[in-house]
Amino acid sequence: MGRRQITGFVLFLFLLIPACLIQRDDFFISTSKDYKVLQIASSEVSFLKENVYIYDGTLYLASEYLVKSASGNGMATERKGLYLHKSIDGIPVADLIDLESYEAIKPLLLYKDKERVYFFQLEGGCHLCAATLDLNPKTLKMLDPAFEYLTDGQTTYCLRNGEKIATTSKLSIVKFGNSSFAVDANFIYSMCEPIDPEEFVANFDILSTSERRDFVKRFFPKQAQD
């Protein structure tokens, strides 16, 4: 059998594979009455683009459906599939997004269109949360490679919990040894939590005492002199 015949035969066998054997995500929605999470048939869900899906004639946005449970070593996280959001902040998805300009910044976490920024929370105790962030999508900038801090030049959000960072000065990312921190004029931020420089020197035991003092001396010279 020649190479062309073999290739054609393999393709023919592939086409015989039932569609049900091709792996697809499991999909889940919440009931409108009691908000109970239910699994729906994957065959009834159609992919449109990015994390946009159609189910029962309605537009949805998908985020990862993660379930935590106790294990021998503490808590284990299992990915069940994709959870479909019918609305955000009470506004139906179809009335919210501009489908043509809708695109991913970081898949399954952060998206934008020409009008809005969309955030799907994975941490911070908010289960299956979706929100629009008060940011200008035209001037977005990710401050760090870990995707913790997002700004539009005026407002900065923590992407651990989708909350605004209450700073009155510019937030920037600084490297110190093998670590990175966010700083503004008054505070050091670790995992989005503000730490006063004096408290940082006294209690931030991830670094040695001398390293903490060097850090404050370098980035907060006025406080280091007080």
How many other β-carbons are positioned within 10 Å of the β-carbon of residue 195?
Answer: 17
What integer pLDDT is reported at residue 126 of this predicted model?
A: 67
What integer pLDDT is reported at residue 9 of this predicted model?
A: 42
What integer pLDDT is reported at residue 124 of this predicted model?
A: 57
What integer pLDDT is reported at residue 21 of this predicted model?
A: 37
Answer yes or no: is pLDDT of 83 > 70.
yes
Return mean pLDDT, the chain: 85
Determine how β-strand 27-30 pairs with β-strand 74-85: parallel
What integer pLDDT is reported at residue 41 of this predicted model?
A: 96
Residue 52 pLDDT grade (very low, low, confident, very high; cuts 50, 70, 90): very high
- Averaged over 130-159, what is the pLDDT? 93
- Averaged over 130-143, what is the pLDDT? 95
What integer pLDDT is reported at residue 62 of this predicted model?
A: 96
Q: How far is CA 218 from CA 170, 176, 215, 225, in A?
A: 17, 10, 5, 11
Answer yes or no: is pLDDT of 11 > 90.
no
With contact defined as beta carbons under 8 Å apart, do 216 and 223 qualify? yes
- Averaged over 192-217, what is the pLDDT? 94
- Using one digit for the tens of pLDDT, what is the confidence trace for 85-124? 999 989 999 999 999 999 999 998 999 999 999 999 766 5
Answer yes or no: is pLDDT of 3 > 50.
no
- Averaged over 24-32, what is the pLDDT? 87
Closest CA to 169 of 146, 153, 193: 153
Answer yes or no: is pLDDT of 172 > 80.
yes
Q: What is the pTM of this model?
A: 0.81
Sign of torsion, CA 91 92 98 103?
Answer: positive
With contact defined as beta carbons under 8 Å apart, do 147 and 159 qualify? yes
Amino acid identity at 204? F
Percentage of the chain beyond pLDDT 90 is: 60
What integer pLDDT is reported at residue 225 of this predicted model?
A: 61
